[in-house]
Structure 1
Amino acid sequence: MVADAAETDVDLIRSFGASEIVRRGDGMAQRFRNVVSARLDAVADGALLCEQITPAIRNGGQIVVVRFWDGEPGRDITVHRINVRGSVTDHADIARLAEQVESGVLTLRVTAVFPADQAVDAHRMLDRGGVRGRIVLEF
């Protein structure tokens, strides 16, 4: 598996099974193409790198975006838009995710936990950027 990572996340991404790490930033798509010697069949983009990474996808390939992106990459690339809000009331999906966390298939990465009455502080932390993991509000 080939993945991109910020310099501070290289070890974490390797622990997820990436055999090759591509540095983020300008020219990232070309670095991917250099590593795989061709364009990618598919990309899972959880970091809003859409415009930066789509040049690395082959014509007719696919991109999965797990955050909001309304772009259209062209070249017959299929965009799969996935958003957790669509599953918020799907109890079977939520139960399956809980099972995957409990069995170790999925690893949660929590950066900070705030009491619900400190939601403003949680949003300030998110707005500052650089958050590696999720911010959780406890109710």
Structure 2
Amino acid sequence: MRAVGFEQFGGPDVLKVVDRPLPVPGPGQVRVRVTAAAVNPTDLLLRAGDLAAAMAGQEPPHTPGMDASGVVDAVGDGVDLGVGEPVMAFVNPFHAGGGAQAEYVVVPRDQVVAAPRGLDLRDVAGLPMNGLTANLALSLLDLPEAATLAVTGATGALGGYVVQLAKHRGLRVVADAAARDRDLVHGLGADLVVPRAEATADLAGAYRAAVPEGADAIVDAAVIGADALGVVKDGGQFVKCRPHELASERGITVQGVLVLTHPATRPALEELAALAEKGVLTLRTAEVLAPERAPEAHRRLEAGGVRGRLILAF
């Protein structure tokens, strides 16, 4: 089968379309014939070698990708999904079978659910990984209704889902955006949109002008880090979306979100699919590309400014 893969770590041009063996589902597993797979920041880290330790002992080519859509192609014993059923799946790329960017993937039953009805499967491919991350971030915070949540990176896929899920859960959402993106962020549901500061050191001042008491919590989807701590009130909460060191201050609780540790993947995916079907979550696709254009997708994502997901269609 065809897959996006690389033999060695490096820049975007190490990515090629390679041939990999057709995976066979075992008990409790599902094989998905992939319609589309999204490109995400973890793919860039994986390809560059920043996550090489997690790939130790695996033979190349390595295939990136953490979320896919498609149809059930085959199932192992004990699986209650039917062949031909449209599905979306969360895929762990840190194992010998590789990630989602392939014509076929095998995943545990608990990582695949029915796709939201009435939506293009190519758009659906952009939901699982970022949606699960947003879901886990809000679960870690466990904020009461009407609490104030700040969100950096709201124009991105992860930040956008955080905004929409937070509003669905009754939170007051404040997010920052450049002038060109204000309507987008308001449209996602943010109650307040503060001007994007030219320097991250001014971020706290911009938020405090809108929310003088400080936010109850922040989801730092833009990976601002320490300069975003000032957005949060004393004793508030901070969720990191990358595994970097961040010292607390003023009694702020700092937690990291790692989607691979989600304690309830299947129920969360089912909720995300239902919310997308109802229009609560907006599936934003920037462009659909052929697998051969994976290097271009990586370069564009690295450059920043992409609004929506870059999708590889198989």
Cα-Cα RMSD: 2.1
Equivalent pairs, count: 138
Distance 1:2 1:90, change over 3 A: closer
**Structure 2 alignment gaps of length 5 or more:** 1-172
Identity of aligned residues (%): 38
3-state SS in 1 of match to 2:233? strand
Q: What do the CA deviations read for 1:68-94 (whole angstroms, capped 9, x no partner)?
A: 44322322211232233444x933322
Q: How far does the alpha carbon of each residue in 1:12-43 deviate from its partner, in whole angstroms, 9 at most, with x for none? A: 11112333221122312112112222222111
Structure 1, gaps ≥5 residues long: none
Worse-matched range after superposition: 41-50 or 4-13: 41-50
Q: Residue 58 of structure 1 corresponds to which residue in structure 2?
A: 233
Which one has the largest radius of gyration?
2
Amino acid paired to 1:137: L
2:195 paired with 1:48: no
User: Residues of 1 paired with 2:240 and 2:195: CA distance?
Assistant: 19
Retained in 2: the 8 A contact 1:119–1:137?
A: yes
- 1:121 matched to 2:296? The reply is yes
Q: What TM-score does the superposition give when structure 2 sets the normalisation length?
A: 0.40
Conservation of the 8 A alpha-carbon contact between 1:66 and 1:82: yes
Which position in structure 2 is the counterpart of 1:14? 186
- Match status 1:2 vs 2:174: yes
Q: Which structure has the highest helix share of the two?
A: 1
- Decide whether the 8 Å contact of 1:48 with 1:69 is kept in 2: no
CA contact (8 A) 1:40 1:56 kept: yes
Contact 1:41 1:58 in 2 (8 A): yes
- 1:38 equivalent among 213, 231, 237: 213
CA contact (8 A) 1:22 1:28 kept: no
The answer on 1:132 being equivalent to 2:301 is no
Is the contact made by 1:64 and 1:79 (CA closer than 8 Å) also made in structure 2? Answer: yes
Three-state SS of the structure 1 residue aligned to 2:271 is: helix
Partner AA of 1:12 in structure 2:
L
Higher relative contact order (CA 8 A, sep 6+): 2
Q: Which residue of 2 aligns with 1:75?
A: 250
Whether 1:90 and 2:262 are equivalent positions in the alignment is no
CA distance in 1, matches of 2:248, 2:178: 24
1:72 counterpart letter in structure 2: A
1:73-117 C-alpha deviation (Å, 9 max, x unpaired): 322211232233444x93332222112111111112221222223
